[in-house]
């Protein structure tokens, strides 16, 4: 069983004991909290029912979004693997599951820091079903984030996923500055204009702290996107279980999670020559690509007469490096 399948099975077992109406009401409140622009002054997850609803609503999507960011990292530095991982604001541990899927082998010290005890307790419970020893043996530690969490010395990888929107401006700066002490930072936010702006601000602080952007940007210079006119985001396909569909109120067996992200490293990593920043448009005999490059945003039309380049373009997806 893959890590993703193991996570979905654990969530199915979890939801068996939660009344659907109660979970649905909690999901509606969580949607407003996590997607809205207003930061909260207290943990969003108040009790086990909230934590269970959050796990059903957010864990599969967070797992896929973080997994996509980690895939970009692994494509850039395939020989690197973290010996230690800290998940800041990790809640029920979705990012830890994504890291376990990316690097299933080897020893790794994993620590999840969050201010919501119900989320930590549930995350610890879910992790017992993980195949990865690093996740089963993770430390789940309660800690407020807004003042700047303390990282273990020499942390290799820090993940910060869907956290910054819960914090005010000072808290966001403190979390990003703490994360910047690691060797590699993977930061993910919702793929909304507000989420993108939070990622953009974090990216600038990470670069100012001496890190270099690995993905999605092909450079560490200023982002060429004009705020208010557009925003940089990507999509990850999320498989939904029958219980997950019931809680979410949908019928499709999948959904697309829109997310913005940045991966930055304390060392120089090979950068992609360009990144596809919109879903490619395939027309008769041509593929239209929207690209971010070291020279800024541009459009490229790949025609059928280019042979193997055209075939590669047809196989290229939103968020992929270009050329492959």
Number of separate helices (H) and strands (E) present in the chain: 10, 12
pTM for the model? 0.91
For all residues of the chain together, what is the average pLDDT? 89
- Per DSSP, 113 falls in state E
Buried b / exposed e along 117-156 (16+ C-beta atoms within 10 A): bbbbebbbbbbebbebebbeebebeeeebbebbebeeebb
What mean pLDDT is predicted for residues 215-224? 96
Domain positions in the chain are 3-265, 275-314
Residue 18 predicted with pLDDT over 90: no
- Give the CATH number of domain 3-265; options: 3.40.50.620, 3.40.50.150, 3.40.630.30, 3.40.50.300: 3.40.50.150
Phi (first) and psi of residue 263, to 5 degrees: -120, 125
Q: Rounded to an integer, what distance in angstroms lies between the CA atom of residue 35 and that of residue 46?
A: 18
Best CA proximity match to 268, nearest among 3, 8, 77, 88? 77
Please write the tens of the pLDDT for every residue from 247-300.
Answer: 666 677 888 999 999 999 999 888 889 999 999 999 999 999 999 999 999 999
């Amino acid at each position: 069983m893959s890590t993703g399948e193991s996570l979905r099975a654990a969530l199915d077992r979890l939801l068996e004991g939660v009344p659907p109406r109660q979970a649905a009401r909690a999901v509606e409140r969580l949607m407003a909290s996590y997607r809205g622009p207003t930061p909260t002054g207290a943990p969003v997850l108040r009790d086990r029912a909230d934590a269970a609803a959050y796990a059903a609503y957010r864990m599969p999507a967070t797992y896929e979004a973080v997994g996509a960011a980690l895939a970009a990292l692994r494509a850039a530095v395939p020989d690197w693997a973290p010996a230690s991982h800290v998940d800041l604001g990790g809640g029920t541990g979705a990012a830890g599951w994504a890291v376990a899927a990316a690097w299933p082998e080897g020893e790794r010290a994993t620590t999840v820091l969050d201010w919501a005890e119900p989320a930590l307790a549930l995350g610890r419970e879910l992790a017992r079903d993980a195949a990865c020893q690093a996740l089963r043996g993770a430390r789940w530690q309660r800690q407020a984030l807004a003042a700047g969490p303390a990282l273990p010395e020499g942390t290799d990888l820090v993940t910060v996923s869907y956290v910054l929107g819960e914090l005010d401006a000072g808290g966001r700066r403190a979390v990003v500055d703490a994360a910047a002490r690691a060797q590699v930072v993977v930061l993910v936010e919702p793929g909304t204009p507000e989420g993108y702006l939070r990622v953009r601000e974090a990216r600038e602080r990470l670069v100012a702290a001496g890190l270099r952007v690995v993905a999605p940007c092909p450079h560490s210079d200023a982002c060429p996107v004009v705020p208010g006119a557009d925003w940089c985001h990507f999509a990850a396909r999320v498989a939904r279980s029958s219980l997950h569909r019931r809680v979410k109120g949908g019928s499709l067996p999948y959904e697309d999670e829109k997310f913005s992200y940045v991966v930055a490293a304390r060392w120089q990593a090979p950068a992609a020559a360009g990144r596809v920043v919109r879903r490619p448009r395939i027309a008769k005999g041509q593929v239209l690509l929207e690209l971010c490059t070291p020279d800024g945003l541009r459009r490229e039309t790949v025609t059928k007469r280019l042979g193997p380049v055209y075939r590669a373009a047809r196989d290229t997806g939103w968020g992929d490096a270009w050329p492959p």
